[in-house]
């Protein structure tokens, strides 16, 4: 049985979508995107601010962390502009991924750690003599 690239995308665990340059949906694999708001048939066109941010970006990429009640999952929705050989925008690739394992692997390999932000050590202390 021969598989097409579209059928492989259908098996990814999170949503993968392609949008036309004007933000209209071309394809979605129908998976969850982490927002839990839109089913496959309800995916609206991309918001104007997403299109503007992508076009203004020097990298053509926009990453949006999604807020979840669960601290066990860190889900990021990414948008990547796609250009042809003549540098014409031909579409936008959107993918959602859970990055906990990716982040853990990076931190383990690099010997780094994430720490909560605190202003206690970030600058000079102010003493109140009252």
CATH number of the domain residue 67 falls in: 3.30.450.20
Mean pLDDT computed over 41-60? 90
Average pLDDT along the chain: 80
Would 117 be classed as within a structural domain?
no
Tell me if 66 is assigned to some domain.
Answer: yes
The answer to whether position 124 is within a domain reads no
In this prediction, residue 97 has a pLDDT band, given cuts at 50, 70 and 90, of confident
Whether 128 is in a domain gets the answer no
The total number of structural domains that make up the chain: 1
CA 9/CA 39 separation, integer angstroms: 17
Is the pLDDT at 113 greater than 60? The verdict is yes
| Higher-confidence position of 72 and 110 | 110
Residue 30 pLDDT > 90, yes or no? no
Residue 115 lies in a domain: no
Closest by CA position to 35, among listed 27, 47, 43: 43
- Read off the pLDDT band of 43 (50, 70, 90): confident
Q: Is 123 a domain residue? A: no
- At 5-16, the pLDDT tens digits run 567 888 877 788
pLDDT exceeding 70 applies to what percent of the chain?
A: 74
- C-beta separation of 56 from 37 below 8 A: no
Measured CA distances, 14 to 9, 23, 45, 52, 92 (Å): 10, 20, 19, 25, 17
Structural domain includes residue 19: yes
116, pLDDT greater than 60: yes
Euclidean distance between CA atoms 110 and 90, whole angstroms? 37
For the chain, helix, strand, coil in percent to 5 are 20, 25, 55
| Structural domain for 84, as ranges | 5-110
Q: Does 64 have pLDDT greater than 70?
A: yes
Instruction: Evaluate whether residue 122 is within a structural domain.
Output: no
For tokens 């918001």, name the residue. 47
What pTM, to 2 d.p., does this model score?
0.72
Where does the pLDDT of residue 126 fall: very low under 50, low under 70, confident under 90, or very high at 90 and above? low
Confirm if 21 and 89 have CB atoms less than 8 A apart.
yes
């Amino acid at each position: 049985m021969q598989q097409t690239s579209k059928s492989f995308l259908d098996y990814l665990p999170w949503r993968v979508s392609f949008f036309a340059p004007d933000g209209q949906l071309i394809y979605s694999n129908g998976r969850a995107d982490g927002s839990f708001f839109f089913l496959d048939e309800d995916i609206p066109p991309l918001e104007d601010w997403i299109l503007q941010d992508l076009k203004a970006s020097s990298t053509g990429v926009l990453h949006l962390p999604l807020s979840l009640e669960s601290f066990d999952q860190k889900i990021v929705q990414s948008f990547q502009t796609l250009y042809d050989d003549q540098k014409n925008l031909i579409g936008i690739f959107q993918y959602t991924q859970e990055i906990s394992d990716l982040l853990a692997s990076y931190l383990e390999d690099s010997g780094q750690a994430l720490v909560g932000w605190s202003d206690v050590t970030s600058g000079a202390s102010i003493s109140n003599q009252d």
